[in-house]
Chain A
C-alpha cells in the first residue's frame, strides 16, 4: 500500500486530495526515514519541510504538523542521529512559544519518546526544553510586549507548565536525566547583560525546578547559581561613581525615610533628599539595578513560599553555604546579602540563629583576617538592624563577642597598633555598634541589664590597645554619648575626633578594603523589593527616637547642650571639600548659645557631619514610631 506523492509538490498539497489513517502515516514516515538512510530523500525532505513551517499556520497545516509529530513519535527507533540530522535539527529548533497547545503537546510527546529511545538524544532534548524557558530570541520584542498582557501570561503558563512536566516525564524514564539537566541549566544561564524580562524568566524557571519534584536533586545547585548571579549583578552597581568626593558625605551612610509631607524641611543646597529622589539619582536608568531588583523580588517570593511549605531550613542551609563562599568574600556586596536577612526574618528561631552562630564561628576561628572582619561586620549590622531578633539573643551574642575580645586583649601587652590588631578592633567596633542600636532594649530588661554590666566591656575599652581611639569615631562618639546618658559604663570623657566620620587610625585598621566602614545591612535602596525588607528593618531614627523621648522630660544639662552643639553641627551645611576643623570651631561657638531642641525638625540635614552611619534626627514620620 504505497502512497505515491508527486515529487515536486509539497505534502501539504496532497493532503487536500488524499486522506491518511494513522497507521498509514506511521508507515509512510517510517519508510521516509529508512529511505533517507539509503539515500532516497524525497519523502524525508517533505517531512522536514512540514516541521519547519511555523509562520501563521492555518488549521489544516496545524493538523498536518501534529500528525507528523505523532507519527515521528512512533518511529523514533528508526531515527538515526547522523542520517536524519536535518530533521532532528528542525525538531529541536521548534519553540513551544510559537504554537498552540495541541502542537505543544504533540511536540513534548515526541521529545519524551526521543529522550527515552537513546542516550544520544537526552542532552539535545533537555537543551531544547531549557531553551524554551524563554521566548525565542528571534521574536523577542513581540513576546516582551505580549507578556505584558493577560493572554501573554496565559501563554507563558501553558509553555512552562509543559516544559516542567516534560522534565518530570523524562526523569521517570531516564533516571539520571536530572544530573544532565542541572548542568545544562547552569551552563545556559543568561549572563548579566541579557535583557531583564529574559533573565527574570529564566531565574523563575530555575526556582520552579528547585521547588519541583526534582528539587532534591537539582535544587541546591540552582540556588547557588542564582546567588552567584545576584552577586555578579551587585558588584556591577558602582557606588563609587555616585559618592561625592568628600567621603563624610558618603551616601551609603545616610538613612532615608519617606519625607514626603514635610515640606518645611531645612533644605540643604536646594536638594530635597527623599528616598525616592535618592534612588532615582542612583538608579535612574541603571539597568543592572533594575535587574537585581526584579531578581530579588523573585527570590524573596520564593523564600516566602518555601517557608509556607516548611522547606525553609533546607533552603537556608544551601544559602548559608553559598553566602560563606561568595557573598562574604565579595568586596562590599550591597544588596545580595539581604536574601539572608529576609530568610532569617521568616524564621528567626532557626535560620536567624544559624546565621548568627555561623558568623560568630567565622569571626572567632576563621582563617583569613579579611573574612573574619567581614563576618563580624555582618554580625553587628544584622543584630542591630533586624527587628525580629530578641534582646536576650543579642545580649548572649554580645557576650561571646566581648569574651573573645577580652581574652584577646589579655594576651596582648603592646600598645595601640591598628594594623596588627585589626581583628580585635573590628570586634570592638562591632560591640559598640550593636550597643548603639540595642542599648535601650537591653537595659530595659533587668536580667539583661545585669548581664550587660557583668560583661567586661569597660576593661576592653580601657585597655592600652585603645580601641576608642582606633575605631570609627562616629560610632565611638555615639556609643560614649549613649553610655553616659544611660549611666551604664564609666568610659573616658576625652575624645578627640568629634564630628568626624572616620580617622587615620580607623582607616589603618580597616585596610584597603575599608572594612572599618562596612555596614552590610544598611538601609535598603532597591525600589521593588523594598517592601519585603522594610517591615523587618530597624532604622536609626526609630532607635534614636526612644533615647530622645526620655530626655525631653529631663532638664537641660551640660551634656545635653554639648550634644545639641554637636547635633547642630550636623545641621551645618557642608560644601564639598570644606575643612572639618572650620565646622568644628563654628559648632563650638554655637554650643553655649543655642538651646537644645530636639523636637524641631532637623530635616534634610543629611549632608554634613554624619555622626552615626545613619541620619540622626528624631523622625516624626509615621513608620518610625
Chain B
C-alpha cells in the first residue's frame, strides 16, 4: 500500500515549567496531540511516533513563563495519500451509488458510482449488497472485502479520501493478487501494464530494505503477499 512513509524529524518540544518533574510524560503528551491530524510541516497525518531525547539539557525560553525547549529526534509514521496513489481499505458499506471503506481503521474513503468502472454491476444477493464483475464472476466487492483503489482527492481536515475504481488494477485486493494474469491480460495496453507491474515490484522491495522497523499493521500480510508474488513469477 502506498501512502505510508516513515521519517525522522528533529523536533523541539516546548514544555511548561510545571512539567519539569515529568519531562518524558509531558513530551509524550505533546506528541500525542499530533496524532490523527494532518500536519503541513510533516506533509502527512502522524500515525505513530517514537521519540528519542538525546541530551538532558533544555533551553529556557525567556518570557513570562519560562518554557523549556527540549530537543529530540523522533521517528514518525506518516500517512499522506496523494492523487493516483494506490490504497487498500476495508469496505464498510455498499449502496447502489457508492462504496464506503475505512483505511487503516481511521480514514474514511468513498467511491462514487461514476468512479466505479462499468465492469462492476450492483446486485443484491441473499439480502446483501454486492458489486460483481461482469467479466470475472469470482471478483466480488462486498462488506468486509479489502479493496484496492486509486486516490482522487484527500480532505486533510477530516481525513476523508475520495477514491476511484476505474483503473484495471483496482478492485478486490485478494482477487487481484490471486489472479494477476487474468486482469493483466484483460487490458489491451500490455506495455503500460508491464511497466506498472515492474514498478509495483520495485517499490515494495525498496520499502522492505529501507524500513525494517516499520510498525505497519499490514507488514506481515505484505511480506506474505510479496513472497507469494515472487513465487509466482519464478
Contacts and interface: CB of A to CB of B under 8 A. Distances in A.
A176 B93 contact: no
Interface stretch (B1-9, B64-72, B152-160, B180-188): B152-160
B107 A175 contact: yes
Interface string A98-127: 000000000000000100111110110000
A365 to B, nearest CB: 13
Contacts of A75: 97
A22 to B, nearest CB: 10
Interface in B137-158: 155, 157-158
Given A117-B98, A172-B92, A175-B102, A180 B108 contact: no
Contacts of B96: 74
Interface residues of B, number: 23
Contacts of A176: 36, 106-108, 158-159
Contacts of B157: 119
A191 B36 CA distance: 31
Contacts of B158: 119-120, 122-123, 174, 176, 180
A2 B89 CA distance: 39
Given A77-B113, A172-B93, A176-B36, A118 B162 contact: yes
A116 B100 contact: yes
B200 interface: no
B105 interface: yes
B137 to A, nearest CB: 26
A23 to B, nearest CB: 10
A176 B96 CA distance: 24
B38 to A, nearest CB: 11
A173 interface: yes
A172 B106 CA distance: 10
Given A77-B97, A77-B98, A77-B112, A118 B159 contact: no
A372 B162 CA distance: 55
A105 to B, nearest CB: 15
A118 B105 contact: no
Contacts of A173: 92-93, 100, 102, 108
Nearest to B36: A176
B114 interface: yes
Given A77-B113, A176-B106, A116 B93 contact: yes
Interface string A64-84: 000000000011110000000
- Of all A-B residue pairs in the complex, the 3 with the closest CB atoms, nearest first, are A119-B155, A119-B160, A119-B158
Given A119-B158, A175-B105, A180-B158, 14 more contacts: A74-B97, A76-B97, A77-B114, A113-B95, A116-B100, A117-B98, A118-B162, A172-B92, A172-B93, A174-B160, A175-B106, A176-B106, A176-B107, A176-B159
